[in-house]
Amino acid sequence: MRKIAVIGMGYVGLVTAAGFADLGNRVVGVDIVEEKIAQLREGKLPIYEPGLEEMVCRNMQAGRLSFTTSYAEALDGAEFAFIAVGTPPGANGEADLRYVEAAARSIAENMRNPLIVVNKSTVPVGTGDWVTQVIKKYQKEPIPFAVVSCPEFLREGSALYDFMHPHRIVLGSSDREAAEKVAQLHLPLRAPIMITDIRTAEMIKYASNAFLATKISFINEIANICEALGADVKEVAVGMGYDPRIGPHFLEAGLGFGGSCFPKDVQALAYAARVMGRHPQLLEAVLEINQDRRRMAVERVREMLGGSLRNHVVGLLGLAFKPNTDDMREAPSIDIARYLLEEGAHVRAYDPIAMENARRILPEIEYFPDPYSLAEGADALIVVTEWNEFKHLDLKRIKALMRRPVIYDGRNIYDPQTMFDLGFIYRGVGRGYPPPADPRPPGLTMEEPAALG
Ligand code: UDX
């Protein structure tokens, strides 16, 4: 049985640890936070991820997975050490590497046998080479080691599935043999494996996330234009998606991207470009469009309420940055709630699982136990997160409970016609808008249609 140490018991680290244990390896999870390790030993997880608790407990019982705060214990006899610590954004959008450095240093100080250090955290291009320097600097005696970059592409909410069914494994290293050993670890996953140099592997992660974020900002820009012209962006995306060069995925217009990855990764890539004297104009536009989504949602609701939000009761359906997670990092709900409060609205919210986390970030809003109590007496509701339970609400009951039947559907989960038929004042994102009063295409100056013949 191969022994693997995984450093950092956050999202990526826990999923990686549980996943490799489930594939039959002996895995030790390391974290410097004692409380976290104590809880994990009791089978309690610091994060919510479908299926993860069960997988962690099952592998602990089978003796394949354990947790410790001691690097020495974790690295003793380990062939691989995966670094999966956080890389939060710094003041200028750059990735803060202090946890990566601390992990590399602790690995160097505690390793007693040859080791392959595999970096999973999303780190700026060049970090792998720097980690090599850090380890060399802090090693007490020269024990051979190699550094391999193996970026993760996990989505929250389906991270275990993504771990077990990756679209590709990207490995980067100057040590081909080490990269091939890491490739072997991944063989049971039967995914295409690409081995390249370390900087290219690091770049693949950033470029992939930046491209996906670009798709989202692109469709959101198209949504804005659809609103002005009376077209339906949802149908536009379907029509575009049939072209295999475009593809149907990641073309959902809405309140924009949030979460722990896209905002910070696009910022970090743009920062790196600027520092190196390049002008990342597309990335900057992607971020700007994304921020505008949140302001725009508030603008639309203000319009729908007749021009002012003051003293109006606005309910947020959903708070998490996306469904099936309690993660509030960079969630659009945070900015939307704050903008609404700034304009004098009374803000309330309901989310199936993110309310506990939200309370810490947004203590100034009111929380309700279900969508119906949220709707009672509200002047407007905003669909912020597309939880499945919102798709199956008793909308007649919701309408009867509301003071004014205004719904701004920030995730396009309802059908505009159905909503109009039910008597709602309804707007989606890029849909549910009437065509402009003047039926002529914008810019057309002809007074009369040209006479036929
Ligand atoms: C993402 C990447 O998908 C993953 O590969 C990477 O490792 C980490 O970042 P995640 O942040 O978990 O994963 O969420 P994802 O499901 O990709 O959604 C990201 C954000 O984009 C969400 O806020 C979501 O609401 C938004 N989004 C996604 C859209 O607005 N429109 C879309 O069409 C798709």
- The DSSP H or E segment spanning 427 is strand 425-428
CATH homologous superfamily, domain 3-196: NAD(P)-binding Rossmann-like Domain (3.40.50.720)
Instruction: Find out whether the beta carbon of 261 lies less than 6 Å from any atom of ligand 1.
Output: yes
Break the chain into its structural domains and give their ranges.
Answer: 3-196, 229-428
Nearest CA owner, ligand 1 atom 28? 250
226 is catalytic: no
For residues 274 and 91, give the distance between their C-alpha atoms in angstroms, rounded to a whole number.
15
Distance 209 CA to ligand 1 centre (A): 9
Domain 3-196 and domain 229-428 have a common topology = yes
Rounded to the nearest angstrom, the distance between the alpha carbon of 213 and the centre of ligand 1 is 8
CA-to-CA separations, 40 to 9, 43, 67, 184, 220, in angstroms, rounded: 9, 5, 7, 28, 40
Question: Ligand 1 atom closest to Cα of 251?
Answer: 33
| Mutational test site, ligand 1, from 12, 120, 216, 267, max ligand atoms within 8 Å of CB | 216
382, β-bridge pairs: 316, 408
Q: Which helix (H) or strand (E) holds 143?
A: none
Count of C-beta atoms within a 10 Å radius of residue 393? 18
Does the domain formed by 229-428 have CATH 3.30.390.50? no
What is the pLDDT at residue 90? 83
Amino acid at 178: A
pLDDT of residue 25: 98
Tens-digit pLDDT string for the chain (453 aa): 899 999 999 989 999 999 999 999 999 999 999 999 999 999 999 988 889 999 999 999 999 999 999 999 999 999 999 999 998 888 887 889 999 999 999 999 999 999 999 999 889 999 999 999 999 999 999 999 999 999 999 998 899 999 999 999 999 999 999 999 999 999 999 999 999 999 999 999 999 999 999 999 999 999 999 999 999 999 999 999 999 999 999 999 999 999 989 999 999 999 999 999 999 999 999 999 999 999 999 999 999 999 999 999 999 999 999 998 889 999 999 999 999 999 999 999 999 999 999 999 999 999 999 999 999 999 999 999 999 999 999 999 999 999 999 999 999 999 999 999 999 999 999 998 988 888 888 888 766 655 555
- Token digits for 187? 């063989």
> In whole angstroms, how far apart are CA 47 and each of 65, 205, 325, 348?
17, 23, 9, 25
What 8-state DSSP symbol labels residue 112?
A: -
